[in-house]
Structure 1
Amino acid sequence: MMEEMYLDYVLVPAGLLVLGIYHIWLLFTIIRRPTTTVIGLNSFSRYQWVHHMMKEPGKNGVLAVQTIRNNLMASTLLATIAITLSSLISAVVSSSNNSLIFTIHTSKYFSVLVCFLIAFFCNMQSTRYYAHVSFLLNVPSYECEDRQEFIEYVAQQLNRACLFWSLGLRAFYFSFPLLLWIFGAIAMLGCSCLMAVLLYFLDTASSSPRFLHSRDLFENKNRIADIESAANSVRSIWSEDSSNLQCSLLEGTKPNSISDIVLPSGR
C-alpha cells in the first residue's frame, strides 16, 4: 500500500510533466513557426475560406452554412458526451463514498471529472461561436463601411470557435492517462509518454507547402503574438484564388515558389 502511494506521488507528476512540457513546446512552435503545425495551417486555411465564401455570399451562402452546421453537430456531440461522462463519474463517486475526505482514490475520479467538464465548457463555447459565424457569413459585407475589416472579424470568430474545439479535444486527450491512473501510476506514466508521441505526429505538419516556410513571409515583422495576427499578415501575400493552396494541402504537392501559386484570373 505504501509503495503504491509512493508511485502515485512520483510517477503521476512525472506523467503530467511530460504532457505539460510537450504542450509548452507546441505553444511556442505555434507562436514562432505556425506553418509547421497543423493548427497554424488550419488557421491560415480558414482565413482563406472565409474570404472566398464572403466574396460572393449569394453564391456561396448555402455551402458556408452547411459547413458550419457540420462543425456545430460535431461540437454538440462532443459536449453531450462530456457532460454525460461527467454525470456518470459524479454518480459513481457519490454512491461509493459518502464522506468528503479527499484521498488519492477520490482525486483520480475528480481529475477525470475536471477534464470532462473542461471539454464540455470548451465545446459549448465552440458551438456558440459557430452559431454566431453562421449568421455573419451571410451578411452582405458590401453594405458595410469597411468591408475588409468585417471579413477579418468573421474570420477571427471562426478561428476562435476552432480554438475552443481544439481545447475541448485536448481535454479529452488528457482524460486518457488520468483514466488509466485508476489502474495504477505506471499505466498513467506510460499512457502519458505514448500520448505525447502520438500528439507530436498529429500536431506537426511535415508536408506543408514550401512557400509557407519561406523566411520572406515573416522577415521584418515584429514577432506576431498569435496565429490570427500571423494569418492577417500572411494573407496579403497569398493569391485571392486559393484553389492551388487547397490542392497542395490535400494532394501533397508542393509549389516551388509563390509565383506558382497565383493562378490566371479567368474563372
Structure 2
Amino acid sequence: MEEKLLDCFLVPAGLLLFTLYHVCLLYCIIRYPRSTVIGLNAESRYQWVLSMMTDPLKNGVLAVQTLRNNIMASTVLATTAITLSSLISVYSIRYYAHVSFLATLPTSVGKRDSIEYVARNLNRGSFFWSVGLRAFYLSFSLFLWIFGPIPMFVCCCIMSVILYFLDTTTSFTRHLHTCAFKDAVKPDNLESSV
C-alpha cells in the first residue's frame, strides 16, 4: 500500500516538475531568447544559413552533409523513443530535408527574404529536433518508473537541474559555455584546424 501511495504522489510530482521546467524554458525562449542556448543556437543557425547560401557552389556539399547528420540524429532519437516522439520526428526530418534543398540554391546577397525563409525552416527543424530530444529524456524517466516511483522522481529532478545548466545562459552557465568554447578554439589550435 505504501508503494501505491508513493506512485500516486512522486510520479505526478516528477512529471509536474519536468513540465514546469519546460514551460519556464519555453517562456524564456519566447520572451528572452538570448538567455537560452536554444535562442543563441537559432541566431547561429541563421548566420550559418547566410554564409552557406552566399556561395552555394563552394558550400553546398557542406550544407547538405551537415543537415544529413541532423536527420540521422533525429531518426535515431525518434526510433529510440518512438512512442513519445513519432509525430515529432516526422516534422523534424521534414524541415531538415526541405532545408537541404533550399540551402544549396544560388541566391544573391541582396535577396535576404529567401535566406530568412531557409533560416526560419532550419530553426523549425531544430525546434522539432529539440522537442524530440526532450521526449527521449522523458521516456528515460518513464523507463525508470519500472524500478519504482523514487528512481523516476529522482531522475526527473536530476534531469531538470542538468537541463537548466544546458539550456540557459545565466552568468554561471554562460561562464561554463564560454570556457568550453575558448578551450576548443585556441589560437594555436586554429592554425592546425585550417
Q: Scaled by the length of structure 2, what TM-score is found? A: 0.83
Check if 1:251 corresponds to 2:182: yes
CA deviations over 1:146-190 (Å, ceiling 9, x no partner): 821111110011001101100000001111221111221122211
Asked if 1 retains the 8 angstrom alpha-carbon contact of 2:80 and 2:136, the reply is no
Check if 1:26 corresponds to 2:25: yes
Structure 2 matches for 1:36-55, cutoff 5 A? 36-55=35-54
Instruction: Structure 2: state its 5+ residue gaps.
Output: 185-194
Q: Which of the two has higher C-alpha Rg?
A: 1
Aligned residue for 1:139, secondary structure, equals coil
Structure 2 matches for 1:63-102, cutoff 5 A? 63-82=62-81
Measured in 2, the distance between the counterparts of 1:195 and 1:57 equals 40
User: How many residues matched?
Assistant: 179
Structure 2 matches for 1:1-267, cutoff 5 A? 2-82=1-81, 116-142=82-108, 147-205=111-169, 206-207=173-174, 250-251=181-182
Asked if 2 retains the 8 angstrom alpha-carbon contact of 1:11 and 1:189, the reply is yes
Measured in 1, the distance between the counterparts of 2:117 and 2:20 equals 33
Structure 1 residue 249, shift from structure 2 partner: 8.4
Structure 1 residue 204, shift from structure 2 partner: 1.6
Asked if 2 retains the 8 angstrom alpha-carbon contact of 1:14 and 1:189, the reply is yes
CA deviations over 1:78-101 (Å, ceiling 9, x no partner): 23333xxxxxxxxxxxxxxxxxxx
CA deviations over 1:20-71 (Å, ceiling 9, x no partner): 2211211122122211211011000000000111111122112111111111
Bigger helix fraction: 2
Asked if 2 retains the 8 angstrom alpha-carbon contact of 1:75 and 1:124, the reply is no
Q: Scaled by the length of structure 1, what TM-score is found? A: 0.62
* Deviant stretches of 4+, over 6 Å: none
Asked if 2 retains the 8 angstrom alpha-carbon contact of 1:119 and 1:168, the reply is yes
Structure 1 residue 76, shift from structure 2 partner: 2.1
Aligned residue for 2:174, secondary structure, equals coil
Measured in 2, the distance between the counterparts of 1:127 and 1:59 equals 25
User: Residues 252 and 204 (structure 1 numbering): CA distance in 2 closer, same or farther, change over 3 Å?
Assistant: farther
Aligned residue for 2:11, secondary structure, equals helix
Asked if 2 retains the 8 angstrom alpha-carbon contact of 1:19 and 1:193, the reply is yes
Aligned residue for 1:141, secondary structure, equals coil
Measured in 1, the distance between the counterparts of 2:19 and 2:128 equals 19
Q: Calculate percent identity across the aligned residue pairs.
A: 58
CA deviations over 1:182-228 (Å, ceiling 9, x no partner): 221122211111111111111123337xxxxxxxxxxxxxxxxxxxx
* RMSD (Å) for aligned C-alpha atoms: 2.3
Instruction: Structure 1: state its 5+ residue gaps.
Output: 83-115, 209-246, 254-267
Structure 1 residue 140, shift from structure 2 partner: 2.1
Aligned to 1:256: none
CA deviations over 1:98-125 (Å, ceiling 9, x no partner): xxxxxxxxxxxxxxxxxx3232222232
Aligned to 1:230: none
Asked if 2 retains the 8 angstrom alpha-carbon contact of 1:78 and 1:120, the reply is no
Measured in 1, the distance between the counterparts of 2:113 and 2:77 equals 32
